[in-house]
Each structure stands twice: as structure tokens, then as C-alpha cells.
């Protein structure tokens, strides 16, 4: 009996997801707990794993299809049985399958026991290009006819008819030497675009800048890096200092840890700090819950875990939801200065940038110091300019004297 691949629950507020890349093709063998297909929500991507050993028997929902939690996206055939998928699919899939080509091309007789088993993708190619099944040599496991087998017989589809009057003409192919590739926006990329545009359209955004001398943090890291790494199995980075500094600054300027909700301002007395990370599907912002309770080591360990799982699209929607303030570090990509955008409905975001040695004046002397520009974008509806400047100066002070972070002074 075929095994269903169903969409798992991906969060309390998420009911619809989009099918991403199929990691296995029809006919491919899979092992238990091996990833078969990627699904995308508006917050994260995740994978559906094989519940048992088997072979991919049928793909019900192709890449880009919108499905709901609990829907069947495909079937596995048990490894030992090699049987066919169930003849009566779930009701939600019946309508979709009604439009699918049958395994036997039009005009051909019913398949006999000696005929190859035609996979759905191959059947579509046979039907579209009027290829008799007997003209194709199957190469798939168990004598299955794959899409590639059908395409080898007739690689070019027949020309399409001219569009009817009033119909939208097909896109004109790019000129020779000027190729183009059209890729649909993923669900997460569409959500990112929607949220950023909403922030620009609904908030009064303003950015203020300052710069910080990173000498003290660099000395501290050089002095204790080996002992820190030996004890906690993680490197001491810059982000933990700024997370702790931001929390202290938010205590002084609570409006930056608040949000506008309807006609009210909601002040949060906890600090869920979002840390922007470049993931496999784009920029994601996992949240350090109750970051005020974490030490430097705990922050570094949590960020390293987020970064590793973001690369493999393993972050859960719950880890990407919420947050009271965000920190983003464009310096890891070489950015010297930028104006970050707020992650709505938050009221502020701190942008860190590349550390660059520059001449600065100290005690009447020009010296070379490792300097970093800081940028704070804030919602001017709730945060005044004086408060924004005070916040950024507080972060600067704590970064230039990191001992004050531990003393909370």
C-alpha cells in the first residue's frame, strides 16, 4: 500500500504553504527520514521526510502549488512491495488528478503486464507530443518509463497555434546572446517584499548614525578568545556585545522596545532580540527569546545554532516570529554604511557595519583606530529624535567600554 506524504503542521497561524523543490524524482529510492520535498511558508522553509524506506511513486502537487496542512503532496511505494499508489486519492486531490493525463497515451490500448509502467510526467510528454509508448525505451527502476525517456524520442514539442484575437501573446524570446531567466518569487521572498513595503508605507522612518571605536572589544576578544572557546566550544564574536549593549540601551529608551497597536502604544518589559542572518532562501531574522537572561556565551551559541540551521532551511516558523527589536550586521558582507529597514511592527533596528581602520582624533592627536559605523532606523511616530540619539550614544558607550556591560553601568 502506498505511503502518503502529507503537509505537517508548521505553526498555529499557518494554514497554507507552498510546495518548493522536490528533492527526489518519481522512481527515486528514498531512505526513512530522508528529505523528499521542501515546503515554504511566509516565514520559513522546511522539509517533508520519508516515513519509511521506499520509492517515490507519484508526485501529486508540483513545485509552486498552494496546499494546506494535512494535504497529500505525493506517495511513496514501500521498498519491498513496489506496488502502485492507491486508486482512490483523497477528496482534496481528486479534482487535480482529474485533469492529469492517464498513464496510457490517447489512442493506445490498455497496458498489458509486459508493457512498461509509464510515470505521470512521462505520460504528459507522450500525450503532448503524440508519441506511442511502444516507441520509448524505459530506463527507470523496475522498467518504469521516465519523463527523460519520452523527451529523448521527441525533444522538441510541436509548434503552438497562433493566439486567438484579443488573447495575450506569449512573451517574445530574448535576442541571441541576451538570455533571460524567469523565476517565480518564493512565498518567503514575497512575504519579505510585502513586509518591507508595508513598513515604508505605514511608518515614519528616520535613520540616525554614529560611529564606535572597536579597540576595546577587539582587545578583550584577543585576550580571552582561547579560554572562552575552550570553555564554551564557540568563538567570542562581536554580536553578543551588541546584543547586551542594545538591551541596556532599550532599558533607557523603552519606546524603541515598544510597538503601536491600534490606537495604543504597547511597551514590552522583556527583550526578544531578532538577529538578521543570511539563510538558504534569503535573509531571515530568528529571535533570541528573553535575551536579557543570556550571557555572552549563551548569545553566541544561540546565534551559531541559528546560522547553521538557516543555511539548511531548518529554522521553524516559531523561531522567526515576534521580536521586540532587531540587529542586522551588513559588515559581514563588507557594507560600510546603510539605512536598515524596520521589521514591522517593531519600532527600531540597529545596523552594524564593517570595521575599518580610520584616522581619528584622540587627546589632540591623530591616531588610527578600528572604527565601525552604527545606524539606527526608528519609527518617528513613537520615538523622538532625542531618544534615538540617546539610544545610539548608549550603545556606543557600552561598546567602547564593554566592562560596563557586565557591571550594567
Alpha helices in 132-214 (DSSP H): 147-153, 187-202
Annotated catalytic residue, options 28, 53, 305, 380 = 380
Backbone phi, psi, residue 223, to 5°: -75, -40
Grid look-up 496510457 returns 104
- Give the span between the Cα atoms of 231 and 362, in whole angstroms: 36
Q: Identify whether 226 is a catalytic site residue.
A: no
- Give the span between the Cα atoms of 145 and 149, in whole angstroms: 6
* DSSP structural state of residue 254: G
- Nearest alpha-carbon partner for 385 in 184, 207, 188, 118: 207
Q: Would you call 173 exposed, middle or buried from its count of C-beta atoms within 10 A (0-12, 13-18, 19+)?
A: exposed
Q: Which residues of 314-346 are buried (b: 16+ CB within 10 A; e: fewer)?
A: bbebebbbebbbbbbbbbeeebeebebbbbbbb
Q: Nine-digit cell at 203? A: 511608518
Backbone phi, psi, residue 116, to 5°: -70, 155
Give the three-class secondary structure for 344: coil
Q: What is the dihedral of CA 402, 299, 358, 353, to 10 degrees?
A: -140
CA gyration radius, the chain = 28
- Nearest alpha-carbon partner for 331 in 250, 238, 253: 238
Q: Nine-digit cell at 133? A: 509508448
- Nearest alpha-carbon partner for 327 in 347, 349, 353, 310: 349
Farthest CA pair distance, the chain: 95
Q: Identify whether 353 is a catalytic site residue.
A: no
Count of residues for the chain? 409
* DSSP structural state of residue 354: -
List the catalytic residues. 380, 384
Amino acid at each position: 500500500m502506498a505511503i502518503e506524504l502529507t503537509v505537517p503542521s508548521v505553526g498555529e497561524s499557518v494554514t497554507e504553504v507552498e510546495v518548493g523543490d522536490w528533492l527526489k524524482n518519481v522512481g527515486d529510492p528514498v531512505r526513512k527520514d530522508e528529505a523528499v520535498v521542501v515546503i515554504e511558508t511566509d516565514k520559513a522553509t522546511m522539509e517533508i521526510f520519508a516515513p519509511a524506506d521506499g520509492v517515490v511513486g507519484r508526485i501529486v502537487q508540483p513545485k509552486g502549488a498552494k496546499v494546506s496542512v494535512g494535504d497529500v503532496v505525493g506517495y511513496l511505494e514501500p521498498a519491498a512491495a513496489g506496488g502502485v499508489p492507491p486508486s482512490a486519492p483523497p477528496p482534496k486531490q481528486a479534482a487535480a488528478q482529474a485533469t492529469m493525463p492517464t498513464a496510457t497515451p490517447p489512442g493506445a490500448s490498455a497496458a498489458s503486464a509486459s508493457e512498461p509502467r509509464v510515470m505521470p510526467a512521462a505520460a504528459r510528454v507522450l500525450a503532448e507530443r503524440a508519441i506511442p509508448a511502444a516507441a520509448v525505451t524505459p530506463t527507470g527502476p523496475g522498467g518504469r518509463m521516465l519523463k527523460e525517456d519520452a523527451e529523448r524520442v521527441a525533444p522538441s514539442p510541436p509548434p503552438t497555434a497562433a493566439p486567438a484575437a484579443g488573447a495575450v501573446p506569449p512573451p517574445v524570446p530574448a535576442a541571441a546572446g541576451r538570455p533571460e531567466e524567469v523565476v517565480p518569487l518564493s512565498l518567503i521572498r514575497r512575504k519579505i517584499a510585502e513586509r518591507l513595503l508595508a513598513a515604508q508605507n505605514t511608518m515614519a522612518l528616520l535613520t540616525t548614525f554614529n560611529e564606535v571605536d572597536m579597540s576595546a572589544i577587539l582587545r578583550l576578544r584577543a585576550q580571552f578568545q582561547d579560554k572562552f572557546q575552550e570553555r564554551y566550544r564557540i568563538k567570542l564574536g562581536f554580536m553578543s556585545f551588541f546584543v547586551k549593549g542594545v538591551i541596556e540601551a532599550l532599558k533607557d529608551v523603552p519606546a524603541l522596545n515598544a510597538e503601536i497597536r491600534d490606537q495604543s502604544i504597547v511597551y514590552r518589559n522583556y527583550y526578544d532580540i531578532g538577529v538578521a542572518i543570511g539563510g538558504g532562501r534569503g535573509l531571515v531574522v530568528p529571535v533570541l527569546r528573553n535575551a536579557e537572561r543570556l550571557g555572552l556565551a549563551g548569545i553566541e551559541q544561540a546565534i551559531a545554532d541559528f546560522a547553521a540551521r538557516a543555511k539548511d532551511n531548518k529554522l521553524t516558523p516559531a523561531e522567526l516570529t515576534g521580536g521586540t527589536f532587531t540587529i542586522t550586521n551588513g559588515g559581514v558582507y563588507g557594507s560600510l554604511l546603510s539605512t536598515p529597514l524596520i521589521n514591522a511592527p517593531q519600532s527600531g533596528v540597529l545596523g552594524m557595519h564593517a570595521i575599518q581602520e580610520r584616522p581619528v582624533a584622540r587627546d589632540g592627536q591623530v591616531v588610527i583606530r578600528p572604527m565601525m559605523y552604527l545606524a539606527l532606523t526608528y519609527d518617528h511616530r513613537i520615538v523622538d529624535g532625542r531618544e534615538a540619539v540617546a539610544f545610539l550614544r548608549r550603545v556606543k558607550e557600552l561598546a567602547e567600554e564593554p566592562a560596563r556591560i557586565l557591571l550594567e553601568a
